Structure 1
Amino acid sequence: MELPSYTKQQLALRNGQDKPQIWVAYKGIIYDVTESRLWKNGKHYEHWAGQDLTDELADAPHTEVVFEKLTKVGTLG
């Protein structure tokens, strides 16, 4: 199944404040973190949902393996 494409503006609305969904992007894929207790209110440590976190992963204490557990909802177009 091909994933739908979303713009950065559409992703930005899924920030934990404007819409009920909480999404983040990594390497062109958008992931749903709505159910994650680590993303409560769209915030995860110093990071905010609704953004492309590709460049920020280097600062994280974990690797990209964390994304394997998340549901893919689309691509960042």
Structure 2
Amino acid sequence: MDLQRYTLQQLALRNGQDKPQIWVAYQGLIYDVTKSRLWRDGNHYEHWAGQDLTDELADAPHTQEVFEKFKVIGKL
């Protein structure tokens, strides 16, 4: 799969506020969570969209399998 690369700055703009897309990164991949009701307005509990959430997953009540339901749209 040939994915487009994005910088942290480009990811940060997809926070649900600056642009309509809501993206998050995990382990180098960027996921589109725009359609998820749990990411409405760009936040999900204490987590914010437009960021790399790799280090934050340890505090989450779920595992990385949660990302399987979202489309991978790029690489970080």
Shorter-chain TM-score category?
over 0.9
CA–CA distance in 1 between the matches of 2:44 and 2:68?
Answer: 17
The aligned residue for residue 33 of structure 1 is 33
The aligned residue for residue 46 of structure 1 is 46
Q: CA deviation at 1:3?
A: 0.5
* Moved beyond 2 Å, runs of 4+: none
The aligned residue for residue 3 of structure 1 is 3
> Counterparts in 2 of 1:3-22, with a 5 A limit?
3-22=3-22
Q: Map Cα deviations across residues 5-29 of structure 1 (whole Å, 9 max, x no partner).
A: 0000000000000001000000000
Q: CA deviation at 1:30?
A: 0.1
CA–CA distance in 2 between the matches of 1:54 and 1:68?
Answer: 15
* Percent sequence identity over aligned pairs: 78
User: Counterpart of 1:72 in 2: which secondary structure?
Assistant: strand
Gaps of 5+ in 1: none
- Name the TM-score, length of structure 2 as normaliser: 0.99
How many residue pairs get aligned? The number is 76
- Name the TM-score, length of structure 1 as normaliser: 0.97
Gaps of 5+ in 2: none
